[in-house]
Chains A and B, each alone.
Chain A
Amino acid sequence: MPDFRDYVRRRLPPLGLSGAREGEVVEELALELEERYQRALRGGLDEEQAWAEVRGAAGDWREVTDELRSALAEPQVQTPEPDQEETMFARLTGEWRRDLAYAARQLRKGPGFTTVAVVMLALGVGANTAIFSLLNAILLRSLPVHEAAQLVFLGEPKAEGDTSFLPEGPTAVFSYPFFRAFQRDNQGFSDVAAIQSFLVFAWGRVAGNTAMEKVSLELVSGSYFRTLGVNPMAGRAFTDADDDGPGAHPIAVARYGWWRERFPTDPSFSGKNLTIGSTVYTIVGIAPPAFSGLTVGRQPDLWIPLSMQAEVWPDRNGLEKNMFRCLHMIGRLRPGVGRAQAQANTNLVFRQILRGFVGPKPTENQLANIQHARIDLKPAATGRSRLRQEYSAPLAVLMVVVVLVLLIASANVANLLLARASARQREMAVRMSLGAQRGRVMRQLLSESVLLGTLGAAFGVAFAFAASRLLLAMVSGSEALPIQVTPDARVLAFTIAVTAITVLLFGAAPALRATGLDLSTSLKTRAVVSGSGRNRLARGLVVGQVAVSLLLLAGAGLFLRSLRNLIHVDVGFDRQNVVRMYIDPRAAGYHPDARLVATTERIVNAVSALPGVRSAAFAQDVFDGGGSSTTDVRVPGLPDSAPHPRTDLNVVDPHYLDVMKLPILFGRGLAAPDTATSRKVAVINQTMVRTHFGGAWPIGRTFSVGDDREAQDVEVVGVMQDAKYMELEEEQMPAAIFPYAQHPQHFIFSFVVRSDGDPESLIPAIRKTIAGVDPHLPVSDIRTLAQMVDDFTVNRRVVAQLSTFFGILAALLASIGMYGVMSYGIARRTNEFGIRMALGAKRRDVVWVVLRETLILAGAGIAIGLVLAYEAARLIEKLLFGVHAGNLLPFALAILAMVAVALLAGWLPARRATRIDPSVALRWE
């Protein structure tokens, strides 16, 4: 039998197809000839005759070639119908693959467009991912414990302590006796644990080292690890047995990270003790790596049983005191018990225990208090955090800000796509007239958007990775916070959702517009027809961008002003040229007694004598976010009825007023003659004169604080000027300071030194001098007072800086958007400008035509933006410090900025318009 394939191949010249397709055509034709040949044989012809028949059927090969070429040159139309063998899924994935490949080709064809679009999307998605990572880490992430959702706090857990009978509102801190009673009596929880509300810092020796190191300790009940369902990685956790007998259980469980740092290779516990003061703690277990306590942004190095409170915290032993309340309580709901049910039982038991505390003869007042007393159960799944209180509102604001920035970026990409879509209108018209369905073409355009979005998101996540670290550093202030901000599953899910929404936002409108066109007109005229429609959409987007940018800029202005106010707030003391350090006498074996008082006096005298030092003093608290306060201050002769405001109490040595430059207004300051044996005295502030002495002359009068034996009938000897005592944004508090010599029962840690110049240069000399008095005294946490004040502005600084950054970014993106729309409009109107200029229009006139249009767009955006910004400002007013929502300056500046942006964005294309050569322009199209 003849080789038909060879026969066809020799006669058919190349058709200009791919090798494979060409082979298929040859195969098909050869098959046809072969069938005809065999039919001829079957019909009774001999081979010769059959061969002649085949040659006849083939006809003129030149004609065959021409016909084939012409047929195969027809434009290819995608068939929407699946092949029989293909499943629905395979068909869809196949089409998607083709769409994506096609989209990738289109994007490669316009590298400029693609780069700009991807960069804008990456910025938008990245900023969102970064802020969300931080928000997730601080606000949303669950504790790595067993069934976190079953855990509740008894009350809102803030770091505090209280010795008064009951607070006005709900109770959130509890005494140790209360915890034990509640643990025994409650019916709502399968387990209850108590945790001291704040960490205790101590100096100790690890594993027999001679050098002391600072450790942070968390005092917890024996039920702590069991309640949380946290099993130690090695060794054992605490048990209820570790609760009984004060001082009887010197053991510790180490945090994994702390243990690893010290003993990277050696997993055995033997000999790995911690010595604090005279107590040796045996490390009995290591917590699992993921677990670092209940506090987000603060981690203890070791956990120690509450029964060791007196050893860890010698001057404040409250284990046996019913009203020494400094514990948080956490409970695990019994299976089947709801929060409401547990809440009811908790309050019932709470009041019963309180009745027991007040004894058989309670006063009317106490009974009334017990009647009002209540505990609100709070979900504990995400742990406790000071950061959360501080940052939940700022992070929410920043989240809104970055979403708005993403919207602006999306609008820009949408505008770019619209411009491209109208340039490709003819392509779409051709494809649709050839029978491509609208949905198919739309899907192809959308796949371009999906590809852009995915690229943007990929770069965005990389960008967010770096940015979230930067954010954490900004939030941390001077000390790095132990928070994981690396994106987890929740963050990635968020990013994917954000990207999907963004793609829909910027991709859908252009796709709908590009395919919703009138085929015949598009094919006849080049795509000028629906230009006006495109322009309306594009202009609308620009107006929106200007409005949102104005909103962001005005907001940033408000935050900046608020930050400025806070930085310049009058703290009442002189923060310049003062350095503060902690000197921990417990670590050197001191007890709170006269020996310690004498040592502090020697240190003060020696450091004061250093050249460059003006004065030095010890104090219990120096403006570091905490301090002692009480509402229980009584003044003889004045009615006790009205609840007194919280009064700040501090124990200081006589030089403290000099170091802080707190002016004495009346009477005298504290002085050396105020000793343990002399009359108990105090200096109070202006506010206390008003709140506690009714504004009358206070000098020579007395007051008493609670049941503190050392603070009864204290004589007021002077009045000092009001100041801030614990933090920058506190309400003005009444305050009293007491001489240390009369209150030696307290440990006193903070040491402050005022110098003539930069205090930091004196630090080595100060350290040496302290070591000269007692080489065992550890010195730590050295900060200047100015830095400490500054640390209180960190959250506002973060918001101000970030909102300013994003405001400027938004304005920049809006200006790019405006510039794009204007230059596109001018390119479209080359003809018109040519005619105008040919008819004698001056350059100035042409510039004005363009600028006027830009300004109209900007004006519309500004008007909308002002309304939005005013409403937004009222929403965030609570976050502002000393700034009203109606403050005009930020608004005025934002308007100016947007007008400037508009002028710039309009001027560049306008200048181009004036360079149009009328003769060229009229030939255009």
Chain B
Amino acid sequence: MPVIDPDANARKKGSAELLVLAQLEARPRHGYEIGVEIERRSAGEVSFQIASLYPVLYRLERKGLIAGQWVEAAGQRRRRFYKLTPAGRKVLAEQRRSWSSFLLALERAAGLEHA
């Protein structure tokens, strides 16, 4: 059971954006790698469909929170890598704070337990 259903929630965009930004915190990654990383970290609980992941990436990019760039490595096909911009880093920190307090509130109000 997914903790957050990215498709059926009013906060879906917000949560998806948080997830994507968080994957880019350590280093730039390409689209597929982001999806895989989210799946891995959530132990398979959250997975993105194409319809969810790429629109989120493009939206973040247009907002200037991440920047995409084609990178060609020798002997491989080129891939588009995304990385956090300073603005994105700031937004990530803010979202982390607000989601934490939101989850804390849910926990208290509804007696939820979160992992």
Contact = CB atoms under 8 A, between A and B. Distances in A.
A240 B87 CA distance: 80
A58 B87 contact: no
Interface in A43-64: 57-60, 63-64
Contact of B87 (A71, A83, A435): A435
A80 B64 CA distance: 8
A81 B24 CA distance: 15
A68 interface: yes
Contact of A72 (B58, B67, B70): B58
Given A59-B51, A74-B62, A83 B77 contact: no
B31 A80 contact: no
Given A81-B85, A435-B87, A35 B62 contact: no
Given A28-B80, A31-B32, A79-B85, A71 B55 contact: yes
B106 interface: no
A24 interface: yes
Contacts of A671: none
B38 to A, nearest CB: 13
Contacts of B58: 25, 68, 71-72, 74
A426 B88 CA distance: 25
Interface in B6-47: 30-32, 35
The interface size bin for chain B is 20 to 34
Choose among A57, A59, A78, A79 the residue with the greatest number of B CB atoms under 10 Å from its CB.
A79
Contacts of B62: 71-72, 74-77
Given A57-B49, A77-B62, A435-B87, A31 B55 contact: no
A59 B55 CA distance: 14
A79 B64 contact: yes
- Interface size on A, as a range, is 20 to 34
B63 A77 contact: yes
B64 A435 contact: yes
A35 B32 CA distance: 7
Contacts of B52: 67
A60 B85 CA distance: 31
A920 to B, nearest CB: 41
Nearest to B35: A32
Interface in A743-758: none
A29 interface: yes
A88 to B, nearest CB: 15
Nearest to B59: A71
B36 to A, nearest CB: 8
A70 interface: yes
Contacts of A79: 64, 67, 85, 87
B54 interface: yes
A58 B32 contact: no
Nearest to B86: A81
A55 to B, nearest CB: 11
A64 B80 contact: no
B51 A63 contact: yes
B50 A77 contact: no
B87 A60 contact: no
A816 B52 CA distance: 58
A36 B32 contact: yes
Interface string B70-83: 10000001011001
20 contacts: A25-B54, A25-B58, A28-B54, A32-B32, A32-B50, A32-B53, A57-B49, A59-B49, A59-B50, A64-B50, A68-B58, A72-B62, A76-B62, A77-B64, A78-B64, A79-B85, A81-B87, A83-B69, A434-B64, A435-B63
Instruction: Report the 9 A-B pairs with minimum CB-CB distance, sorted nearest first.
Output: A77-B64, A67-B55, A71-B55, A71-B59, A74-B62, A64-B51, A71-B58, A35-B32, A59-B49
